[in-house]
Each structure stands twice: as C-alpha cells, then as structure tokens.
C-alpha cells in the first residue's frame, strides 16, 4: 500500500515544477517482521548494536528484539531510561549521551515519539546507522530528520538525522495504549486542515504547492477515516492502515522538504498548548490528541471564514488600528518568555509590514471565490473527522484535554505568529476579520 502511494509522486519532472528526489528511509511493516528485520540488520555493521528504550517500550518490543539479536550472535547492549514516560529534553539527551558505548556501530531506537526524538540527536552526533522500531501508531515523525526537544523550558525543533530504516510490527502497534492510537488518529485527521491551508497559501502568497504530495497525504487521511471505526477493537488491518497513514504523512514531508503537507494551524494550536504548559509548569496532553481537538477548532474557524465577504475598506481600517507592540505584549502575557522567539522572528519575517498586508489582502479579495472553494472542501469533512475521533474515544473538545487554562481565543489568535507559514488566522488578520475568532 505504502510503496504504491509513494510511486504516485514523480521523482523527476513533477508537474508542480519541482523534482522530488529526497532519499527516503526504508520501511518494514506488517506482521511477524522479526526475521526480515534481523536480515536487514545483519547487512549493516553489527559489531556493537546499542538499543535505546524506556521501560514500557522495552517491555513492548525491546526485550524480544534484544533476545532475537543475541540469538543471532550479534553483540548488543541496552540503554533503558529510568522512570516511565521520559520527556525529550536536554536532560534525557545528556543521560543517553553518557551511555553511548565508544564502539557503537548501530543505534536501534525502540519506542515512539520521545525515544525517537532523543535517539535522533544521538544518531546525528555519532553518525552511525540508525534503525527505528516503532512501538505505537501515535505520530507521524518516525521518518523525520528533526527532533522536538524541551530545552530550558522551551519546545524547540532541532535538525537531527532521519532513520535509515523504520520497522513496525502490527501486533506490537495494536497492543499500544489506546491513548497512543487516539494520538495517531488526531495527527492524521489534522492533515485535512494542513492540506487546505497549503493550497490556500499557494493562491495568496504564491507558495509552491505539489498536488501529488498533497494527494499522498489525502490517501493517508481517507484510509484512516475509513479504518477508524475498527481501531477501538485493535483490528490488525485498521492498525496497519493507521500506521501507513502516519508513515506516509511523514514521507510526504521528506519529499516536500518541509512540513506543509502535514502541519497547519491545528498543529500550531497544539504547539501553543505545549508552550503554555511549559510556561505555566503544567503538563500538556499528547501531540496527537491536541491536534485532533485543534483540527475541530480550526474547522469551526474555517467555516466562519467562508461566510465572510472581505473588503479593502475593512482590511485598511483594521490595519490602521493595529499596534504591533501591543500585540507582542499580549503574546508575552500568553506565553511568558516563550513568546520572545516569536516576537524576534517578526524582525526577519515582516509579516505585519503594512504594504505586505495590503498586498495580500488585495490578492485575497480578488481570489475570494477560489479561496472559499478550497476551504469549503475541508468543512464538508468535519463530520467524518469528528466521527473518526469519536470512534477511538479521542477528545473532541478542549475541556476533555489535560491542558489547563486553555485561553482558546488567544491561542487561536497567536497561531499566526508561530512560524512564517500562511494559515487561516493570517488570512483573517490580513483582511481585518480577526473578530471572527471571537464569534464561536
Ligand atoms: Zn503532528
Ligand atoms: Zn510535485
């Protein structure tokens, strides 16, 4: 299934005008993959395999793999984080770094999000072959070359190293906690918003857009929406479909060379909840569960956006009233010191530059029917998305997440400052329609 989808993106002469020749990690999925996994492993330097896991992922797959590797007479040592659910931070990376054997020939990460984020840092530093053995269908970052780390209380994205091979045994994935499955569904339904905003941005800012890569993620989304009702019972083919959806979303980002195909405003909502949790010293919910709720919030906002009829007068009047310094103060109140990188980014991005705002507003007004067509197509999926989340008992509202003091309206407003990516809240700013955020 995955190979067939990937082949639909032409490596050369794509009609989007680009080539998509990114070297992709290998993947090995399905049931009873251990023999094939060991076979592939044995083709690398196995003089000292170093396995990294946490107590849960070691129990889920690590122990079995360690034994299978020993049975093949390949030298292996294990590093298992103390304490359950470690966080990817400067502390856990430092702890792992101290454990790295001098003669490590291959790094084998057994786990999901956190273990991978840490392992990718070690892989980048040591530059040895790097294998990932996934234990949960919880997020789409298995093939990515970036790590999300908490450093000094701030979530940062660090360029690291992508795995050479990602393996996932369906039976291991199916035994993951239901919360991990909910997260995976949330991370995939998010793509409905990501894709619509990517296409919308191409109309407004002229950003490059590839229909084939978008189509790839579209397949992932459709497949997961269709299989969600069978995930609560952990039916193997449904779990396999969810993992395929996540893997393909990740590969789409590898092919595009950026996160556009798989992350939009709904992801920024989740990032902001993470940042607020770090600033307030509270704990955030999982990435995917937050993305699921973020998707529904984004869809509500997109629906209100479609009902607007933007005019140059309203856009101008709003721009005249807007005071950047006051807005930056609001960001500081919302996020504490974590607001500073967002504020600094404006120096280079200049997204609030009045001439640029007016320019984009003009383009939006001229292309309004086209833009609303794009956005309407995603609104029609709201029911299917909510049904998929409900099917796995994932949260649908902010109140069901563990985020405290969610400040939903301010979080929605602040999404436009997370990165220089054109999303719905930036369209609302450019057209002077930010009040739509308060309407819901
Ligand atoms: Zn995600
Ligand atoms: Zn293309």
Over residues 16-59, the pLDDT tens digits come to 999 998 889 999 999 999 999 999 999 999 999 999 999 999 99
What would the pLDDT profile of 44-102 be if each residue is shown by its tens digit?
999 999 999 999 999 999 999 999 999 999 999 999 998 877 889 999 999 999 999 99
Q: Residue 109 is inside which H or E element, if any?
A: strand 106-111
pLDDT at residue 283 in the model: 86
The ligand whose atoms approach the alpha carbon of 213 most closely is 2
CB neighbour class for 397 (10 Å; exposed up to 12, middle 13-18, buried from 19): exposed
Cα(149) to centroid of ligand 1, in Å? 14
Residue 136: pLDDT band (50, 70, 90) is very high
Could you tell me the pLDDT band of residue 385, with boundaries at 50, 70 and 90?
A: very high
Chain-centroid distance, C-alpha 328: 26
What's the pLDDT tens digit per position in 229-288? Answer: 999 999 999 999 999 999 999 999 999 999 999 999 999 999 999 888 888 888 889 999
pLDDT, average across residues 416-421: 91
SS3 66: helix
**Domain spans of the chain, in order of start:** 31-176, 182-439
The alpha carbon of 262 and the centre of ligand 1 are apart by a number of angstroms equal to: 7
CA distance 389 to 214: 22
Domain 31-176 identical in fold to domain 182-439: no
Spacing, Cα 387 to ligand 2 middle (Å) = 31
Where is average pLDDT lowest: 6-15, 355-364, 380-389, 403-412? 403-412
Residues 357, 429 contacting (CB under 8 angstroms): yes
pLDDT at 295 over 90: yes
Percent of the chain with pLDDT over 90: 86
pLDDT score at 277? 87
The CA 203 to ligand 2 mean position distance, Å, reads 16
The answer to whether 75 and 46 have CB atoms below 8 angstroms apart is yes
| pLDDT at residue number 338 | 87
pLDDT digits (tens, 9 = 90+) for 168-215: 999 999 999 999 999 999 999 999 999 999 999 999 999 999 999 999
Share the mean pLDDT of the chain.
95
Q: How far apart are CA 429 and CA 435, in angstroms?
A: 9
Spacing, Cα 263 to ligand 2 middle (Å):
18
CATH T-level topology, domain 182-439:
Dehydroquinate synthase-like, alpha domain (1.20.1090)
Q: Is the Cβ–Cβ distance between 401 and 286 less than 8 Å?
A: no
| Amino acid 376: pLDDT | 97
pLDDT class for 311, splitting at 50, 70, 90? very high
Given the cut 0.95, state whether the ipTM is greater than it: yes
Nearest ligand for residue 267 CA: 1
* Residue 89 β-bridge partners: 150
Report pLDDT for 439: 58
Question: Could you say which ligand is closest to the alpha carbon of residue 245?
Answer: 1
In the chain, what percentage of residues exceed pLDDT 70?
99
pLDDT above 70 for 430: yes
Q: Is the pLDDT of residue 418 over 70?
A: yes
Nearest 5°: CA angle at 136, between 5 and 144? 55
CA of 2 to the centre of ligand 1 (A): 19
In angstroms, how far is CA 97 from the centroid of its own chain?
A: 26
Q: Cβ(78)–Cβ(96) under 8 Å?
A: no
Ligand nearest to the CA of 16: 2
Q: What is the pLDDT of residues 254-270, one digit of tens each?
A: 999 999 999 999 999 99
> Of the ligands numbered here, which is closest to the C-alpha atom of 22?
2
Which residues, 6 or more positions from 251, have their beta carbon under 8 angstroms from its beta carbon?
2, 6, 24, 143, 216
Residue 304 scores a pLDDT above 60: yes
Class of domain 31-176: alpha beta
């Amino acid at each position: 299934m995955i190979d067939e989808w990937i082949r639909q993106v032409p490596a050369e002469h794509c009609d989007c005008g680009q080539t998509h020749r990114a070297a992709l990690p290998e993947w090995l999925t399905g049931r009873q993959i251990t023999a094939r996994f060991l076979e592939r492993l044995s083709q690398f330097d196995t003089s000292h395999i170093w396995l990294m896991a946490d107590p849960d992922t070691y129990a889920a797959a690590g122990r079995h793999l360690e034994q299978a590797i020993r049975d093949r007479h390949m030298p292996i040592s294990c590093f298992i984080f103390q304490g359950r659910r470690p966080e990817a931070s400067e502390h856990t990376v430092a702890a792992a770094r101290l454990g790295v054997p001098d003669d490590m020939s291959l790094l084998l990460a057994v786990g999901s999000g956190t273990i991978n984020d840490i392992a990718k840092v070690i892989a980048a530093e040591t530059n040895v072959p790097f294998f990932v053995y996934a234990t949960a269908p919880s997020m789409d970052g298995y093939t990515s070359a970036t790590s999300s780390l908490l450093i000094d209380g701030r979530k940062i994205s660090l360029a690291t190293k992508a795995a050479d091979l990602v393996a996932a045994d369906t039976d291991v994935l199916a035994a993951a906690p239901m919360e991990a499955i909910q997260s995976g569904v949330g991370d995939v339904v998010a793509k409905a918003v990501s894709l619509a905003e990517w296409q919308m941005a191409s109309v407004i800012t002229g950003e490059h857009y590839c229909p084939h890569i978008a189509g790839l993620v579209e397949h992932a989304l459709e497949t997961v929406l269709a299989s969600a009702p069978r995930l609560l019972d952990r039916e193997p083919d449904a779990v396999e479909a969810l993992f395929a959806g996540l893997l393909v979303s990740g590969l789409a980002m590898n092919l595009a060379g950026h996160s556009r195909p798989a992350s939009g405003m709904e992801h920024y909502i989740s990032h902001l909840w993470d940042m607020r949790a770090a600033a307030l010293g509270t704990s955030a919910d999982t990435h995917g569960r937050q993305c699921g709720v973020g998707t529904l919030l984004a869809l509500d906002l997109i629906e209100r956006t479609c009902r607007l009829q933007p005019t140059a007068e309203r856009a101008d009047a709003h721009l005249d009233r807007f005071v950047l310094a006051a807005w930056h103060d609001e960001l500081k109140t919302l996020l504490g010191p974590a607001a500073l990188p967002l504020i600094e980014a404006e120096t280079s991005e200049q997204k609030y530059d009045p001439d640029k705002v007016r320019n984009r507003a003009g383009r939006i007004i001229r292309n309004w029917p086209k833009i609303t067509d794009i956005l309407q197509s995603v609104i029609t999926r709201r029911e299917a998305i909510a049904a998929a989340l409900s099917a796995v008992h994932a949260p649908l509202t902010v109140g069901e997440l563990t985020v405290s003091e969610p400040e939903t309206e301010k979080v929605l407003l602040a999404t436009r400052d997370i990165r220089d990516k054109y999303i719905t809240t930036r369209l609302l700013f450019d057209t002077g329609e930010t009040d739509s955020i308060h309407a819901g």
